[in-house]
Structure 1
């Protein structure tokens, strides 16, 4: 097994420049484990890193603390207190995890799910190296990062083709929103534990591919039940708490799916803990609006899938799709752009 040079470089940075002794010790422990997994000693692994090391430009925020200290005297001291508090919380979390798992090695041990994903994806997917990236000086440089052909994280959206087939072959993807949320929570729990010991931890790409597939289910699948609506709301709340902006299209998809499921759920009479009442017949206009909303948010879905979600025939969806495409062509001079 080869060692991830880019990740080792990050770990070494924490070993040498971690804000606290705890961070530096945790990084050294993680680097040792990475080297051992690759059949190397820590010294041998670091020598490989030295052999590939390239001059690095100055960091974008280098000197920021000095600048802030000049503007706001005491800034460095306040930041030091914050770092110490974070470190105390991290060490406390690590102690809890050691009592739960027994050892740090057990925290990072490959789970059965991770093993299945690795075994399914490695022989079926082509791994490619990123061409490179622009550094903080605006210069193009090579990178040691790799991606799976068919899934390049945020660069390509959800996995498709052979990668998606391999993910499903590892073990079947959930068919419901609530099932996807339950599996998502399992991965998040494992990541959270590993982050505590190693803040620079990054899940293997086959795990990230699986989570991207789960994200698509959570954003788009229909489950007009109390459990489904609750799971999707928890998913949306998880994104809000991350404080990382998503693509607007992703937000449109999840809101469209949530609105339609909520309307179907309310029409069924299953709310406020009451037993289902006689179904309320939805109007043709309401169904048409739902079809158009899905076509706008998720145009890649098949007519059959949209029909299943809204409760109309596939032909009805196809009629709306053709009318929508025709209107778009007319608006663009007949070019369909």
Structure 2
């Protein structure tokens, strides 16, 4: 016997007795209206429905206690569409009638009738789409990554601002020297234009020139056969002879030091202009064959050619002092030069004291001390005065017989040591 407790309670307002024994349930009498509302067919249909089972159907054999569907719940359009397809295209009349009955019951439970089917079927399905639950570890990892990127961006912006500030300060300090270089060359483009010696050297090594595609895979660059790898090593003899023959090699120490001064001044000008205009100093101021010629002349001027006059000794000493370092071998060379000049002086092969005094009188400033240490002390002293800070690097260098690069190096060390 089918017992529908929900229908009885709703009609009479009387709650079911306590306990759930079969004998107590069997003693209940069911009215005709209750029986009609709770037919066996409805009990079987609801018993096999997972949707109703999830809503709380209590089954006892064929007995069912159904919780009524509220009006706020939406009808399952997909289920209605499947049932109505059987109503329209069922294979037998019984199948179509059975499907029509199921559809009518489903519609009635939600307050609809069969006439509402066309309108309901136009709706989209009400079944919720499956969503992937959030991965809290991935979210945390993304947040950490974003914070790290923001921190790196802020640090990079701070470094860039500091670099621009430092470069602006550096430009202000070297503006006078920069303007002097532009006045001497005419423009910044002319500073980097090849001079006659550079063109002659590069022309002489053209037979050894080629495009290197193998030394560094993925890169192509101009190279010369016979050139050593890196800065160490010797060039091949044939290309080295071509470099030496492109421009006549100096025959005296004075000629060697004069050419060395030309290369030093040009390299310094290109270094300063590139750093002033771009903030980054150019790494290679000369092409490799020209740099090799520069090194050959430097070796002649600084150590390989012997000094024959006192002026040669003074000039060489100034060059070594301007480079800012000293080694025992170079000191031994200077000592040998002085001894040679002294011997030549005894034989009457050097200028006498009167010529030296006459030269001092003609100079705008007295002869600077031969000691590099004393020269540095004097340069440091004048750079720490108001007058010295207002003077250009070249003025100070000419006053003490040093190069502008040496004065610049001393000034940078003073600024770095300042609190």
Normalised by the length of structure 1, the TM-score is 0.46
Of the two, which has the highest radius of gyration?
2
TM-score (norm: length of structure 2): 0.38
